[in-house]
């Protein structure tokens, strides 16, 4: 690997420093595709609830790279014979580039346009027109495919895959700490340094020294709490529903050529092609392109488009009440209340179902999903839930929250909705 003459160090609020020692990694960071991630927020619209949560995908990606680099460094101390240094560049580039295909307002964007950030990550790395592809190829002709297959979890080396995607990988380890820090949540903290020190490489993936059980247990509990307190927050999901309805309305007006003149080419490309948008057009999109469009749409002749744009820009989240998650009589009745009180249910209501399984010791659906394992003094492997009563109690437990969303004004117009809203369970 071509070493830099002098190490480059970037200060980082979470990991203290990001250390760059290789020219290929520095070139990748400076590529146009990586720099685009500065313009995409890591938490989508959650900054409208947690105002500190403005951090970008760029800084998260640097964090994942740094954690991957530190894993390699600790492998060298703990079990040098089990780590092949030819893999350094593969896994560090995979950590850095794992989110390169994220779109603007990631999850909402994907939902509306049918794009998939994982597919775009693969395309951006393997497409000969991109800068990252050229940089990786300069190092080795096959490097783009290798890096892409680590991220896609298809690489034959299970250890490399487990470092980037497993139940305790560099990606999750970074975003939990980073999101907790920037949102100001007092959850999500755990002792990353200790976990890295106690991590070993094996052919099947990473394992931990048995003395690290409680540090890893703390990481799982942090993840559980972050999902309930931050990622599932009803108000940010209320903003997501506004954004979804807004993008759908705009796309409908464009497709039916009702007001095509208000769409500039960057946005028109995604409305025209959806998931088949070209890589180069996809890379022109970021959060700012859409925010600018929403500002223009405030003055649209289409009253619904301008109203939804205003609700998004002025942060007027839809309110919500829990429902079963099924399209049952209650949901149909709630939609009727929206209509009866003067709103079109299609543009002014919506459902959002959030769910997560904080830890799975076994997956019937995905047999390759491994439990988190520890190695004892005799060299035996033991699963986390057999060592921790706390993790055992949430093992395979799905946490979910299904909500029906509607405009806040309805709480004044409908006594029935108001009563259901105030009777809601505390979140
Ligand atoms: Zn990530």
6-50 pLDDT tens trace: 999 999 999 999 999 999 999 999 999 999 999 999 999 999 999
How much distance in Å is there from the Cα of 144 to the middle of ligand 1? 19
How much distance in Å is there from the Cα of 165 to the middle of ligand 1? 10
Residue 285: C-alpha distances to residues 153, 262, 268 (Å): 26, 17, 11
CA-closest candidate to residue 199, choices 218, 223, 216: 216
How much distance in Å is there from the Cα of 171 to the middle of ligand 1? 5
The protein residues having their C-beta less than 5 angstroms from ligand 1 (an ion) are 99, 171
CATH code, residues 234-355+400-424: 1.20.1250.30
60 class by beta-carbon count within 10 Å (0-12 exposed, 13-18 middle, 19+ buried)? buried
How much distance in Å is there from the Cα of 193 to the middle of ligand 1? 19
How much distance in Å is there from the Cα of 339 to the middle of ligand 1? 40
How much distance in Å is there from the Cα of 303 to the middle of ligand 1? 37
How much distance in Å is there from the Cα of 99 to the middle of ligand 1? 5
How much distance in Å is there from the Cα of 64 to the middle of ligand 1? 7
How much distance in Å is there from the Cα of 25 to the middle of ligand 1? 17
In DSSP notation, 166-212 reads STT-HHHHHHHHHHHHHHT-S-S---HHHHHHTEEEETTEEEEEGGG
How much distance in Å is there from the Cα of 97 to the middle of ligand 1? 9
Across the chain, what does the average pLDDT equal?
93
- Is pTM beyond 0.85? Reply is yes
How much distance in Å is there from the Cα of 293 to the middle of ligand 1? 27
How much distance in Å is there from the Cα of 118 to the middle of ligand 1? 11
Name the DSSP letter for residue 41: B
**Token pair in block for residue 31:** 């590529």
pLDDT for the residue 264: 86
pLDDT for the residue 427: 44
Residue 315 CB neighbours (<10 A): 14
Tokens 């809601």: give the residue. Answer: 424
pLDDT for the residue 363: 66
In DSSP notation, 357-418 reads -S--S--SS-TTPPPPEEE-TTS-EEEHHHH-HHHHHHTTPPEEEEEEEE-TTHHHH-HHHH
How much distance in Å is there from the Cα of 63 to the middle of ligand 1? 9
How much distance in Å is there from the Cα of 323 to the middle of ligand 1? 30
How much distance in Å is there from the Cα of 321 to the middle of ligand 1? 30
How much distance in Å is there from the Cα of 334 to the middle of ligand 1? 36
pLDDT for the residue 368: 57
How much distance in Å is there from the Cα of 391 to the middle of ligand 1? 24
Model pLDDT for residues 168-226, shown as the tens digit of each residue: 999 999 999 999 999 999 888 899 999 999 999 999 999 999 999 999 999 999 999 99
How much distance in Å is there from the Cα of 312 to the middle of ligand 1? 25
28 vs 327: CA distance, rounded Å: 47
- Mean predicted confidence (pLDDT) in 229-234: 92
How much distance in Å is there from the Cα of 98 to the middle of ligand 1? 6
How much distance in Å is there from the Cα of 65 to the middle of ligand 1? 10
Model pLDDT for residues 306-357, shown as the tens digit of each residue: 999 999 999 999 999 999 999 999 999 999 999 999 999 999 999 999 999 9
Provide the residue ranges of all domains of the chain, joining segments of one domain with +: 7-229, 234-355+400-424
How much distance in Å is there from the Cα of 164 to the middle of ligand 1? 9
Asked if 122 and 282 count as a contact pair (C-beta separation under 8 A), the reply is no
**Residues contacting 253, CB < 8 A, separation 6+:** 259, 302, 305
pLDDT for the residue 340: 94
How much distance in Å is there from the Cα of 263 to the middle of ligand 1? 31
Asked if 169 and 335 count as a contact pair (C-beta separation under 8 A), the reply is no
How much distance in Å is there from the Cα of 57 to the middle of ligand 1? 8
Asked if 56 and 50 count as a contact pair (C-beta separation under 8 A), the reply is no
CATH fold of the domain at 7-229: Hypothetical protein af1432 (1.10.3210)
């Amino acid at each position: 690997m071509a070493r830099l003459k002098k190490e480059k160090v970037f200060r980082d609020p979470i990991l203290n420093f990001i250390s760059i020692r290789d020219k290929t990694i520095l070139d990748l960071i400076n590529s146009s595709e990586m720099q685009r991630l500065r313009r995409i927020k890591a938490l989508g619209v959650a900054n409208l609830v947690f105002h500190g949560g403005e951090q970008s995908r760029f800084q998260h990606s640097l964090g994942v790279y740094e954690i991957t680099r530190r894993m390699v460094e600790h492998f060298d101390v703990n079990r040098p014979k089990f780590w092949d240094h030819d893999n350094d560049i593969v896994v560090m580039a995979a950590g850095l580039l794992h989110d390169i295909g994220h779109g603007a307002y990631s999850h909402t964007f994907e939902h509306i346009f049918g794009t998939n950030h994982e597919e775009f990550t693969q395309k951006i790395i393997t497409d000969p027109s991109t800068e990252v592809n050229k940089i990786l190829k300069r190092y080795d002709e096959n490097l783009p495919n290798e890096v892409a297959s680590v991220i896609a979890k298809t690489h034959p080396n299970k250890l490399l895959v487990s470092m980037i995607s497993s139940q305790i990988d560099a990606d999750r380890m970074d975003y939990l700490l980073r999101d907790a820090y920037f949102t100001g949540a007092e959850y999500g903290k755990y002792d990353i340094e200790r976990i890295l020190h106690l991590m070993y490489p094996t052919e099947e993936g990473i394992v931990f020294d048995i003395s690290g059980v409680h540090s890893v247990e703390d990481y799982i509990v942090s993840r559980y709490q972050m999902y309930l307190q931050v990622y599932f927050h009803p108000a940010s999901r209320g903003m997501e529903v506004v954004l979804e309805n807004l993008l759908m309305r705009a796309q409908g007006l464009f497709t039916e050529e009702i007001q095509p003149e208000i769409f500039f080419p960057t946005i028109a490309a995604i409305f025209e092609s959806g998931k088949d948008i070209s890589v180069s057009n996809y890379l022109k999109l970021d959060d700012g392109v859409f925010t600018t469009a929403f500002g223009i749409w405030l003055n649209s002749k289409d009253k619904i488009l301008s109203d939804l744009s205003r609700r998004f820009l002025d942060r007027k989240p839809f309110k919500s009440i829990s429902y079963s998650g099924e399209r049952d009589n209650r949901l149909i009745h709630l939609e009727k209340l929206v209509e009866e009180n003067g709103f079109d249910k299609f543009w002014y209501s919506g459902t959002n179902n959030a769910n997560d399984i904080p830890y799975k010791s076994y997956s019937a659906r995905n047999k390759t999903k491994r439990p988190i394992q520890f190695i004892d003094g005799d060299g035996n492997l033991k699963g986390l839930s057999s060592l921790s009563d706390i993790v055992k109690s949430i093992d395979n437990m799905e946490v979910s929250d299904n909500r029906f969303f509607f405009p806040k004004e309805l709480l004044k117009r409908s006594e029935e909705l108001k009563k259901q809203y105030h009777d809601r369970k505390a979140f």
